[in-house]
């Protein structure tokens, strides 16, 4: 079977692209390696997506998935290993099969960046988490650490402060970089402490391999061990784009280089959402990208007939 459009990633960008493609009567399918929703399923609350004053990321992802499924958009739960450009036909390779399509839309998003310090790998998902909404309830009435000072770190620290007895935010800069409103909410919490201009050296282990806390060093070279039952890392993102590395459409950091029409330099291959080079990575910009990609893909498909 030759598809009109194959979309890689079922986050806000990918599902929006799927909806627009299906409504245009295209033969379309979406590939998703994990769960539909992308990064928003790891977000406790979303307050800046038009039409929803406040809701959890999981709820918004569920609404998007139901909308996508209501149109009978096919979702394939397979990991994409490679995209091959053969001119008018592209091949999408998974562990199970190779699919042919006229258009590929890459909406594969990002994954959290890690600190790369001692004991981090050992404690991953056993004391260290990258998802407060998923794992936060495990630390009710306990002490936790949040590493980072951007929007994600600050917003998730505010959520964790409603559960934990104490939240210590560790930021390697001398100040937070999140939106002012998010900062105000966090700094108003009585059970939140801050360590600015500080870097994590390592995670401290107990005799049984459990996490006891972190060792940090501040800008004066002073070391400190902060006790905690768990840690949450929000220090940036890495684009999930290794499967298109041979196409030459990414920058040195792995982000897709696309123009305002979401076109890459390979005809028939489009980028959308957080995996693109872009100024703002938000739900609203991701959905916009998905819609724009499909509208321009339609014009491209007309040239093939």
How crowded is residue 233: how many other Cβ atoms within 10 Å of its Cβ?
Answer: 22
Strands 143-147 and 198-205, bridge-based pairing: unpaired
pTM of the predicted protein model: 0.82
How crowded is residue 216: how many other Cβ atoms within 10 Å of its Cβ?
Answer: 21
Token pair, residue 163, equals 């559960």
**Residues contacting residue 187 through CB under 8 Å, at least 6 positions apart:** none
Are the C-beta atoms of 258 and 222 separated by less than 8 Å? no
Output the pLDDT for position 21.
Answer: 98
Residue located via tokens 């935010």: 169
Question: In the sheet that 223-227 helps form, which strands lie side by side, from edge to edge?
Answer: 198-205, 211-218, 223-227
Token pair, residue 210, equals 């459990």
Output the pLDDT for position 125.
Answer: 83
pLDDT tens over the chain, length 305 residues:
999 999 999 999 999 999 999 999 999 999 999 889 988 887 777 888 899 888 888 999 999 999 999 999 999 999 999 999 999 999 999 999 999 999 999 999 999 999 999 999 999 888 999 988 888 999 999 999 999 999 999 999 999 999 999 999 999 999 999 999 999 999 999 999 999 999 999 999 999 999 999 999 999 999 999 999 999 999 998 999 999 999 999 999 999 999 999 999 999 999 999 999 998 888 999 999 999 999 999 999 999 97
- What domains, with CATH codes, occur in the chain? 2-111+237-304 (3.50.50.60), 114-233 (3.50.50.60)
Are the C-beta atoms of 277 and 237 separated by less than 8 Å? no
Q: Look at residue 27 and give its three-state secondary structure.
A: coil
Output the pLDDT for position 146.
Answer: 98
DSSP class per residue in 176-216: --S-HHHHHHHHT-TTEEEE-SEEEEEEEE-TTS-EEEEEE
């Amino acid at each position: 079977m030759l598809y009109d459009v194959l979309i890689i990633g079922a986050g806000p960008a990918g599902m929006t692209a799927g909806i627009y493609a299906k409504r245009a009567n295209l033969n379309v399918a979406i590939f998703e390696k994990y769960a539909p929703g992308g990064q928003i399923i790891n977000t406790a609350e979303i307050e800046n997506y038009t039409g929803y004053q406040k809701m959890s990321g999981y709820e918004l992802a569920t609404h998007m998935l139901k909308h996508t499924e209501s149109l009978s958009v096919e979702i394939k739960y397979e990991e994409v290993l490679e995209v091959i450009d053969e001119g008018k036909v592209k091949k999408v390779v998974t562990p199970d099969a190779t699919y042919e399509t006229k258009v590929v839309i890459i909406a594969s998003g990002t994954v959290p960046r890690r600190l790369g310090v001692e004991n981090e790998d050992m404690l991953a998902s056993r004391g260290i988490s990258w998802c407060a909404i998923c794992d936060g309830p495990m630390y009710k009435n306990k002490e936790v650490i949040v590493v980072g000072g951007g929007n994600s770190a600050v917003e998730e620290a505010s959520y964790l402060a409603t559960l934990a007895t104490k939240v210590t935010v560790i930021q390697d800069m001398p100040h937070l970089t999140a939106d002012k409103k998010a900062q105000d909410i966090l700094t108003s919490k009585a059970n939140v402490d801050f360590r600015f201009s500080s870097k994590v050296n390592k995670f401290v282990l107990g005799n049984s391999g459990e996490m006891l806390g972190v060792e940090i060093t501040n800008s004066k070279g002073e070391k400190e061990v902060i006790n905690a039952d768990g840690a949450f890392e929000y220090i940036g993102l890495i684009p999930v784009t290794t499967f298109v590395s041979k196409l030459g459409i990414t920058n040195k950091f792995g982000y897709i280089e696309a123009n305002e029409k979401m076109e890459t330099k390979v005809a028939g291959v489009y980028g959308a959402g957080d995996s693109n080079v872009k100024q703002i990575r938000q739900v609203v910009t991701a959905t916009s990208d998905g819609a724009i990609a499909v509208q321009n893909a339609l014009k491209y498909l007309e040239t093939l007939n």
